[in-house]
Amino acid sequence: MSGSDLASYIDHTILRPEATAEQVEQLCQEASFYGFAAVCVAPCYVQLAQKQLGPGSLVKVATVVGFPLGYQHHKVKLLETHQAIEDGANEIDVVMNLSAFKSGNYQEVQNELEDLAKFCHLKGAELKVIIETALLTNEEIVKACELCAAAEADYVKTSTGFAAAGAKVEHLELMRRSLPQHIKIKASGGIKTFADAEALVNAGADRLGCSASIQIVKHE
């Protein structure tokens, strides 16, 4: 796999709390130049990203909801999602309610994700569900994947990048075995090198959330 091949897997990401508008504009320019799949930006920068990419751009705009902890009220997550799509987001990366999940309130978690998925699909957007694999056992990863599949999410995503660890090959392989083939996987968190990225794609990742995107595709 070449660097240009990998580019089509990458969500070029800037979610640092201190990220500036100028850095978001640069991110969009880089995404267009290298042919990345999407940019992933904070909700306050969705409109800017859409404007910077321009009409007809092949680069999608992704943003985050319930980020990074996931325990916001489900109505707040729906409102965030509505606003993000109104602002021009094509993809929503939402953090699963880990608190409810760890409490065993699986139906509550599934209901929330179903509502979000239905709304996204109604508006022509895709939903990626962040399950934060670093905080889950293998059994919990399997259960979380089952809930995401039942909710008809488009992607299951490993990590926010804000936990103690990010994407791991063994978690990707477990997720791929646990999900129907039509549900995709996004790996994120700690992907720094071409070798990291290639290993995760080989393990089953359909998308990669990266902030080191350029050094990855340039093999630096």
pLDDT at site 220: 59
Q: Kindly tell me if the per-residue pLDDT of 28 is higher than 80.
A: yes
Q: Is it the case that residue 45 has pLDDT exceeding 70?
A: yes
Could you tell me the residue ranges of all domains in the chain? 3-217
Helix axes 169-178, 194-203, angle to 10 degrees: 20
Tokens of 42: 């904070």
Task: For residue range 159-211, list pLDDT tens digits in order.
Answer: 999 999 999 999 999 999 999 999 999 999 999 999 999 999 999 999 999 99
Using the predicted structure, report yes or no on whether residue 54 has a pLDDT greater than 70.
yes
pTM of the model: 0.97
Which tens digits make up the pLDDT trace of 87-145?
Answer: 999 999 999 999 999 999 999 999 999 999 999 999 999 999 999 999 999 999 999 99
pLDDT for the residue numbered 36: 98
Q: Of 17, 30, 26, 66, nearest to 48 (Cα)?
A: 26
Active site residues: 93, 157, 186
Identify the pLDDT of residue 3.
67
Q: Span 3-217: which CATH code? A: 3.20.20.70
Beta bridge partner(s), residue 157: 130, 186
- What own/partner pairs with CB < 8 Å and gap ≥ 24 does 180-185 have? 180/149, 183/148, 183/149, 183/153, 183/154, 183/155, 183/156, 184/154, 184/155, 184/156, 185/155, 185/156, 185/157, 185/158
